[in-house]
Structure 1
Amino acid sequence: MVRPSAIAVGAVGGLVAAVGTWNRYQRVTTEEVPYTVVDRIDDVELRRYPPAVLAQTVAPSENAAFRRLFRYIDGANEASTDLAMTAPVNVEGRGESIPMTAPVEAERDDEGVRMAFFLPSEYDADSAPRPTDDAVDLVPVPERTLAVRRFSWRPTDRRVARETDRLLATLAGADRDPVAEPFFMGYDAPWTLPFLRRNEVTVEVEGEAVATE
C-alpha cells in the first residue's frame, strides 16, 4: 500500500518538475540582450553590451513599476504598424504588442524604484513605439562595459546588497573603477523556483578590457 506521504512527495516533485520545465521554456523563448564577455575578475564577468533602448519608469514599488512597463509592451503605445500573424500580434485599438526581453533592470533611490525593460534589438530610439503613459520613458543607452556578478535564490534587498558589496570589493581589488551606481538585473518570472533563478548585480566600469581566449 502506498502511503499518503509518499503520494504527497510525488505530487510535489511532479509540480516542481513542471515548473522547472516551464522556466526553461521561458528562457529559451525570451530574447536576451546580447553581450560579449571581454574579461573575468574572479567570479565577476566584464561584459560589453551594444547600444540598446530601455522602456523605463520610476514607481513607488517594484510591482507598480513592473505593471506599468508590462502594459507598455503589451500594447499601451502609439504605434500603428501592421504586423504579420506571428508573435507578437497587433490587436486593434491596443497598439503594437512588444515581446518580453531579458533582463529587467531595477534599482532603488530616493524617488522610488527605477525599473527598465530592454526593448528587442530590432528597435532603436526612432523606431520604438511611443508610450501612451507619460510615466514611461524611452531611454537610449550607448555601448557600455558592465561588471556583473551572478547569484541565485530570491533577490531580497539584503541579498542584493550583499552581492553588490562583493561585486564592488572585487572591482576595487582589481583597480577597476565604477562610473555609475550599481543596479540589479533579473531574468525570471516571479513564480520561478528560487534555486532556478538567475539574478545579477552589475555596475558600469570604465574602458574596454582585452578579450579572453
Structure 2
Amino acid sequence: MTEQQPYELLQRYADFELRRYPEHTVAEVEVDATFDRAGNAAFRHLFNYISGNNMARQSVPMTAPVLQGAAPSREPPSQKVQMTAPVLQQGPLGGGPAGGGEPDGGAYVVSFVLPTGMTEEAAPVPADPRVTIRAVPGSTAAVVRFTGRGTEADFAKRNRELQEALTAAGLKPSGAPRFARFDPPFKPWFLRRNEVIQDVAPDQAARPSAES
C-alpha cells in the first residue's frame, strides 16, 4: 500500500478539516504549463528520480499525494487596500483560476512527498537538474477533500468554497493553496481522491464553532 503523508486532525469543521502537518521533505519540479498539464509535464522527472535516477542509484518508495501549486516566483503578494473599518486585505492566490490568477498557463511546482523520516540531507541527490529537494516546515492547514477528475475547474470550485468557509470561520489564509491528487489516472475518475490544502496563520487553533 502506498504510504500517505501523515497529519494530525485538529478539528473537523462543517466544510473542511483543520490539520497539523509535520515537517517533511519533497522532491519537486517547476514547469511552465497549464494547470491541467503541469502534473504530466513534471511526473516523468519525479518518477525517474524515485526510480533510481539519482547519484546514489537508490529507489525511493512513492508516497501520496502528489502536490501542485504556483511556483514561488509567480505567487502574487497580498494586495493591501486603503484602510477602512474593518481592516481588509485581499489579493489573488496565484497559479491560474484555481488560485485566482490567469487561465492560460504559468509556472507550477509539482512535488512528491518523500517517505516519513527522510530528511533533505538524507535524500538521494538528483541526477536530473530539474529536480530539487526541499525541506518543508510543519504547518497548520485547512483542507477540503473531494472526489473526481481533479481538473482545474474542480480545484477552482473547491478552493473558492474553502476560502469562503475560512472567512466564515474567522481563519486567516497564509500563502497560496496547494492542490493534492492521491490516485493514479487509471483509477475510475469518480473514485479519485483530491484535496485543496490551505495553510492558515500559525497562531490560529481550532475554534469553538467547529464540529467534533
**Which whole-Å deviations, capped at 9, do the CAs of 1:87-131 have from their partners, x for residues lacking one?**
xxxxxxxx0011110111012436423100000013101111111
TM-superposed deviation, 1:194: 1.3
Residue identity matched to 1:102 = A
Residue 124 of structure 1, aligned match among 104, 108, 119: 119
Partner of 2:63: 101
Query: What is the match of residue 193 of structure 2?
Result: 198
TM-score by length of 1: 0.75
Q: Deviations along 1:59-84, whole A, 9 cap, x unmatched? A: 233212111111111111112xxxxx
TM-score by length of 2: 0.76
RMSD: 1.7
Aligned to 1:24: none
Gaps of 5+ in 2: 33-37, 71-94, 96-104
The alignment partner of 1:38 has SS state of strand
Partners of 1:167 and 1:202 within 8 A in 2:
no
Aligned to 1:167: 162
* Greater Rg over alpha carbons, structure: 1
Structure 1 unaligned residues grouped into runs of 5+:
1-28, 80-94
Relative contact order higher in (CA < 8 Å, ≥ 6 apart): 2
Tell me how many residue pairs correspond in the alignment: 170
Give identity over the alignment, percent. 39
Alignment of 1:42-57 (within 5 A): 42-57=14-29
Q: Is residue 66–residue 111 contact of structure 2 (8 Å, CA) maintained in 1?
A: yes
In 2, the alpha carbon distance for the partners of 1:127 and 1:120 equals: 11
The structure with more helix, counted as a fraction of residues: 1
